[in-house]
Chain A
Amino acid sequence: MDFGISNPNPGPYFDAFEEPPPPVISSEGVVVTDITEKFRAAAATLEPGELVKDAYFTLFESVGALEVMDPKMDSGCLAPGESLDDDYDVTRQLLPAEVIGIIDQLLSLEMAWHLGYPLSQTLFTSVYVEKMLHPAPETLQGADFIRDRTDEFPRDPMHAALRAYCLGLLKSCYYVNERIKNEHSYEEEDFVTNPYNRSLLETIDRYEIRDEIMEARKIIHDISHTLTDELAHALGFRLELRSAFLRAIELSELRSDPESLSLPWSQMQGVWEVVNKTRHLGKPVPEAFSTKIQRRLASTMPPRPIVQPSAEETHEHFKKLIADGINVLNVLHYSDSQSLLNFVLTFQAQKPQPMVYIRAILQNFLFNDMVILGRLSIRQVLDDDLSIVVLPSSLLLDRDNDSVEAPHHPRYAIAHQMELFRQRAAQSYLDIFRTFCQNRCRVRRTLFHSLQDWEMVQADAEEIDQLLQLQTEEKPITYPPLGGVPSHSLPLSSWAYHYKLRLMEWTVQLGFELEIYQPDELAGMYWYLSHLSHTRVLHLERIRFFTAQRLEPPGAASSSKTRPAAPSPELTRSKSYLYLAHLEAAATSELADALSQLYTALLRLRLLAPSPRPYSTDALRYEVRMKPFAPIGLPALPSFEAFAHAVERPEASTAALLDGAARAAGRARATLEGLVKMGAAEVFAVGCVERWRAGVREWNKAAIAVVLAVGVVKRVVDEVGEGGVGVGERLSVQVPRPEEGYHEWWVVPKVVEK
């Protein structure tokens, strides 16, 4: 229910020169006291500009204040002589070209809504839409911008076409809005779901609407002899686009076979091309759109301008929406948990990122009813992941444990402890997927919080590991084999630690992508990234060691005269994953190290000059920058002094830094070139291997660019000597924006010899 300021039928309206009528101050059952005089007397004691507020009135609330009779704030304020509504006549005859023109403008407005602008400034600026939705129609027949028609006269064919189009449009908006509301996104920031108290044809059946669109296409076909073929086709395809979109939406709720789900999307793809090519046939009807309708909506906002992308922008966005709509269906081909993660990571890393609606479909596929992709339990996916990363062929994941009923049996205890672990970890694990379905700024900010969550998951997992190792009678092994101490495998906390490290790396990498860091911070942030990835390399080696000790203990094969049993497919898969993860982490660490050394050299050579920053110190800025990582126990954040020393590398000459950078980038390059050649299953990118490979290729191009940049700097440094005197006259350095480079996570300086 809406009352007062959000009354769906706001009014009455006054102009600035008219005295408003006195308010009604009598009401049944309510004792009314007129406080006008008291209020005036109290107000008279205030100085102008004195602030009246209680201690809890926030800035946020103060921004909501309105100035009555200011046309930019007061939605009811009309300029002298301004009318409340436009007097556009929706019953007027429309030319076919005008129907096309109106539809094409509606397409642009629909896209603006998808992009995050409110309905009030987009589709609800259409007079036809407003008349169709308000008052809310109860039946299909009533859903028309021309009300109270008598059935004796058939609809004018052009009105029928536009009406059917609007029915399909609004119904699809209803489903899109519902889908987005059901998933996680940020109102205002990603998308505005507010329908301003209008119902988007919620109560009208989708199949009735589909039939109505079919009927309109038939009408257009029947009268095509009175139009040109061109116009008839243009209208027909626009109607087909609507029915295909409705069908695509309907099917995406199913989460079944991706091939059949993609049919209407593919149809849309073809139809869209024709629609786009026939835009020139339309004749715009700008008077059929008005910002004044906003005054009729349940909103306190004064009318704001129409937001309408150009025809070209609309085309690009629709093409992308449809392509992503087809693409996202491939997530339903589940192969393994790591391919699923790679699907989400690579899908969301696209530039531009898929639109909110597509991201909502992806979330629905992933999580709806707690059934992953419509057919997998959370346990299945989580166990799959544990098996890939740390526990191939492990007793801990044996489903038979569940059927052991003897409480003293180790398997009974294992089943119990594993279930506790799943309950503890499942939400955090799924949140990784959910997080990456958000906009990129939100991903980074959400990761700050996830880091602390995973810090606790890891600690809790370690406790469960210790209980489990009693049940499995695991013997500690010296790790590292040379010079280490006896240690247990700690599989669950190892798994958690692996994810925590990845989350930390992603957090830093998104900082590059979102241009969070200033150029003189890059040496430090790439050093930190390299440090994190290198930590992960070492951790992966530890996991690999303990897996091998458990399943392929040294000496087992050689002591036996018989041929060793072939490794289980699970073990093969896990080894393959650990190998891949090791390569990726190593390539990340190497290239980050190369960039860190290069940027440190550029700072030393004064080719990058930090500002004086009179109000700050390096240590204070380090504290701000590393705040998300400060609470993490392992790997602990280095002290500022240790960090500064590691980044500045005072013991190395500038020439040595550059040589080191070239070698590290070269090693990254060799690894990346190997990665590109591996198969989809080997790189755990089943269903998204093309996107994954494209990412690795861009990463590799960045590595090559580092080698080249280092080469240019090195040549000049070799000529002018270690002091670098005169380097500034020889070289210019520019730090490109992330989108100007080969890969958003790898900001390679452009070094040019003057």
Chain B
Amino acid sequence: MAAFSDSSDKVGSGTPKAELPGELQYIQYQHSLESQYLPSIRALISKDLSEPYSIYVYRYFLYQWGHLCFMALNPVDSSLIGVVICKLEMHASHSTPTLRGYIAMLAVCAQYRGHGVATTLVKMAIDVMANRNADEIVLETEETNIPAMRLYERLGFLRSKKLHRYYLNGNSAYRLVLLLKPTDVDATTDLGPDDEGPP
């Protein structure tokens, strides 16, 4: 989805970033945390978006796949520094259905970028999806978001497709794919649809 605002400093070392406030806490989301964290999750993710997602979209993910959502918290006051939101379900439009993980949203507070917070969050999400037997993990990211693509590519994702004018701002996207298990190539001839959902 469109929401990815974790970009490490694009202008190099010109503007000093804030040091991390100590060892961050990384915790798995659960429904009981909704009133405490959902408002800041929304605020963090919609910060750079012209078109915010409705509360329903967040709940769509968090209520069904809260266990695939991880938060990075400030050890001082437990405030939200970063979050990753995912889903994992059978993708049936292939002739061989696959269990497909989808990284829907990833965001880190601007002042704490460049410390690997997003990478840690994504790795936690991949680990839990892999443990749940995911065949593959996919996502879309904006063509101009080089730091995001680097982050995912360093972990093993490949660009599989470019999606023309995928976002409302007119920018294109890349579909990134991380294959976790080999598939039976003879069984899969259907290349499947391209879109996980609208941006």
By a beta-carbon cutoff of 8 Å, the part of chain A in contact with chain B is 48-51, 53, 58-60, 62-63, 65-67, 70, 72-73, 115-117, 186, 188-190, 304-305, 439-442, 444-445, 448-449, 452, 514-518, 521, 611-616, 619-621, 623-625, 627-628, 630-631
Is A623 within 8 A of B156, CB to CB? no
Residue of A49, A50, A186 ringed by the most chain B CB atoms within 10 A: A49
Contacts of B87 in A (CB 8 A): 59
| CB–CB A516/B159 < 8 A | yes
Give, as a whole number of angstroms, the nearest-CB distance from B62 to chain A. Answer: 8
Selected from A60, A66, A439, the residue in CB contact (under 8 A) with B164 is A439
Structural contact, A49 and B31, CB atoms closer than 8 A: yes
Interface string of B9-36 (1 = CB under 8 A from A): 0000000000000000000000100110
Complex alpha-carbon distance, A452 and B50, angstroms: 40
Complex partner residue of A620 from B38, B159, B182, B191, CB under 8 angstroms: B182
Q: Which residues of A contact B162 (CB under 8 A)?
A: 440-441, 444, 514-516
CA gap between A352 and B153 in the complex, in Å:
28
Instruction: Name A59's contact: one of B52, B164, B185, B196 (CB within 8 Å).
Output: B196
In the complex, what distance in Å separates the CA atom of A596 from the CA atom of B40?
49
CA distance A72 to B163 in the complex (A): 26
B152 vs chain A, min Cβ distance (A) = 10
Residues of B within 8 A of A49 (CB): 31, 34-35, 38, 59, 62-63
Minimum distance in angstroms from A524 CB to a CB of chain B: 12
- Among B70-78, B108-116, B165-173, the stretch in contact with A: B165-173
Of residues 174 through 199 on chain B, the ones whose CB sits less than 8 Å from some CB of chain A are: 174, 177-183, 185, 188-189, 191, 194-198
For residue A628, which residue of chain B has the nearest CB? Answer: B191
Residues in A with CB closer than 8 Å to B128 are none
Are A441 and B164 interface neighbours, CB within 8 A? yes
B51, CB-defined interface residue at 8 Å: yes
Residue contacts A-B, CB under 8 angstroms, 15 given:
A49-B35, A50-B63, A62-B60, A63-B57, A73-B52, A440-B162, A440-B164, A441-B161, A516-B162, A518-B159, A615-B178, A624-B158, A624-B160, A624-B177, A627-B191
In the complex, what residues of B have CB within 8 A of residue A70's CB? 52, 54
Residues of A within 8 A of B157 (CB): 616
Partner of B197, one of A63, A521, A613, A619: A63
Q: Is the CB of A48 within 8 A of B35?
A: yes
- A interface majority secondary structure: loop
Cα A619 to Cα B181 with chains together (Å): 10
Q: Point out the residues of chain A lying under 8 angstroms from B163, CB to CB.
A: 189, 441
Interchain nearest-CB distance for B95 vs A (Å): 11
Cβ–Cβ contact A442 & B164, under 8 A: yes
* Contact of A613 with B155 at beta-carbon distance under 8 Å, contacts A51-B64, A624-B160 already known: yes
- Give the chain B neighbours of A613 by CB distance below 8 A: 153-156
- Residues of A near B182 (CB, < 8 A) are 619-620, 623
Inter-subunit contact B165/A116 (CB<8 Å): yes
Cβ of A515: which chain B residues have Cβ within 8 Å of it?
159, 162
A501 to B19, CA, bound (A): 55
Q: Are B60 and A51 in contact (CB under 8 A)?
A: yes
Closest to B177 in A: A624
Considering only CB atoms, which chain A residue lies closest to B35 in the complex? Answer: A48
User: Known contacts being A59-B197, A614-B156, is A189 close to B51, with CB within 8 Å?
Assistant: no
Assembly CA distance A77 to B69 (angstroms): 32
Q: Give every chain A residue within 8 A of B194 (Cβ-Cβ).
A: 445
Contacts of B81 in A (CB 8 A): none
Which B-chain residue is minimally distant from A117 (CB atoms)? B170
A116 vs B198: C-alpha distance in the bound complex, in angstroms? 17
Decide if B126 is an interface residue (CB 8 Å cutoff): yes
Contacts A49-B34, A59-B197, A116-B170 hold; do A73 and B179 have CB atoms under 8 A apart? no
Is B179's CB under 8 angstroms from A441's CB?
no
- Greatest chain A CB density within 10 A among B123, B160, B174 is at B160
Q: Which chain A residues border B197 with CB–CB below 8 Å? A: 58-60, 63
Chain B residue at minimal CB-CB distance from A514: B162
Complex Cα distance A188/B173, Å? Answer: 14
Residues of chain B contacted by A48 (CB below 8 angstroms): 34-35
A442 → B minimal CB distance (Å): 6
Instruction: Give the docked Cα–Cα distance between A66 and B51 (Å).
Output: 11
State whether B164 touches A616 (Cβ < 8 A).
Answer: no
A621 touches B164 (CB 8 A): no
Residues of B within 8 A of A (CB): 31, 34-35, 38, 50-57, 59-60, 62-64, 87, 104, 123, 126, 130, 153-166, 168, 170, 172, 174, 177-183, 185, 188-189, 191, 194-198
- A51-B59, A615-B155 given as contacts; is B191 within 8 A of A630 (CB)? no
Give the residue of B35, B53, B166 whose beta carbon is less than 8 angstroms from that of A63: B53
| Cα A623 to Cα B189 with chains together (Å) | 13
Complex contact B54–A65 (CB within 8 A): yes
Measured CB to CB, the nearest residue on chain B to A66 is: B54
Inter-chain contact B63/A51, CB cutoff 8 Å: yes
B71 CB, min distance to chain A CBs, angstroms: 16
Determine the chain B residues whose CB is within 8 A of the CB of A115 once the complex forms: 170
Q: Which of A186, A449, A518, A616 contacts B191 (CB 8 A)?
A: A449
Whole-angstrom CA separation of A439 from B170 in the bound complex: 14
CB distance from A350 to the nearest CB of B (A): 16
Measured in the bound complex, the distance between the Cα atoms of B34 and A275 in whole Å is: 58
Say yes or no: B54 contacts A67, CB within 8 Å.
Answer: yes
- Taking a contact as CB atoms under 8 Å apart, the answer to whether B54 and A616 are in contact is no
CB distance from A630 to the nearest CB of B (A): 4
In the bound complex, what is the Cα–Cα distance between A63 and B57 (angstroms)?
A: 6
Residue of B38, B52, B164 most packed against chain A (CB within 10 A):
B164
Complex contacts, A117 vs chain B, CB 8 Å: 170
Neighbouring B residues of A190 by C-beta, 8 Å: 164-165
| Residue of chain B at shortest CB distance from A516 | B159
The interface residues of chain A lying within 8 Å CB-to-CB of B174 are: 516
Inter-chain CA distance A450–B62, complex, in Å, is 39
Contacts of B50 in A (CB 8 A): 304-305
> Is the Cβ of B179 less than 8 Å from the Cβ of A631?
no
Q: In the complex the two chains form, is A518's CB within 8 Å of B164's CB?
A: no
Report the nearest A residue to B164, measured CB to CB: A441
Q: Given contact pairs A51-B63, A514-B162, enumerate 8 new A-B contacts (beta carbons under 8 Å).
A: A48-B35, A59-B57, A515-B162, A521-B158, A615-B156, A616-B155, A623-B182, A627-B191
Given A49-B31, A51-B59, the answer on whether A445 and B158 have CB atoms closer than 8 Å is no
Cα A648 to Cα B178 with chains together (Å): 23
Q: Which residue of A lies closest to B198 (CB)?
A: A63
Chain B: CB-nearest residue to A440 = B164
Contacts of A518 in B (CB 8 A): 153, 158-159
**B55 partner residues in chain A, CB cutoff 8 A:** 67
Closest residue of chain B to A305 (Cβ to Cβ) is B50
A558, chain B: closest CB distance, angstroms: 51
State whether B153 touches A631 (Cβ < 8 A): no
Contact of A623 among B126, B166, B183 (CB under 8 A): B183
Q: When the two chains form their complex, are residues B60 and A616 in contact, meaning their CB atoms are under 8 A apart?
A: no
Which residues of chain B come closer than 8 Å to A189, judged between CB atoms? 163-166
Q: Which residues of A contact B59 (CB under 8 A)?
A: 49, 51
Q: Is the CB of A448 within 8 A of B191?
A: yes
A516 to B149, CA, bound (A): 11
Assembly CA distance A117 to B162 (angstroms): 19
Find chain A residues with CB under 8 A from B53 CB.
63
Q: Whose C-beta in chain B lies nearest to the C-beta of A188?
A: B165
Q: Which residues of A contact B189 (CB under 8 A)?
A: 452, 631
Nearest residue (CB) in A for B122 is: A615
Q: Are B158 and A62 in contact (CB under 8 A)?
A: no
Q: How far is the CA of A367 from the CA of B196 in the complex (A)?
A: 33
Chain A residue, CB-CB nearest to B136 = A624
- The closest CB in chain A to the CB of B153 belongs to A518
Structural contact, B56 and A65, CB atoms closer than 8 A: yes
**Does the CB pair A611–B191 fall under 8 Å?**
no
Q: A48-B34, A117-B170 are in contact. Are A631 and B196 (CB under 8 A)?
A: no
* Cα distance, A445 to B164, chains bound together (Å): 11
Residues of chain B contacted by A615 (CB below 8 angstroms): 123, 126, 130, 155-156, 178, 180
Q: Say how far A634's CB is from chain B's closest CB, in angstroms.
A: 15
A250 to B53, CA, bound (A): 44
Which chain A residue has the least Cβ–Cβ distance from B159?
A: A516
Identity of the chain A residue whose Cβ is nearest the Cβ of B137 in the assembled complex: A615
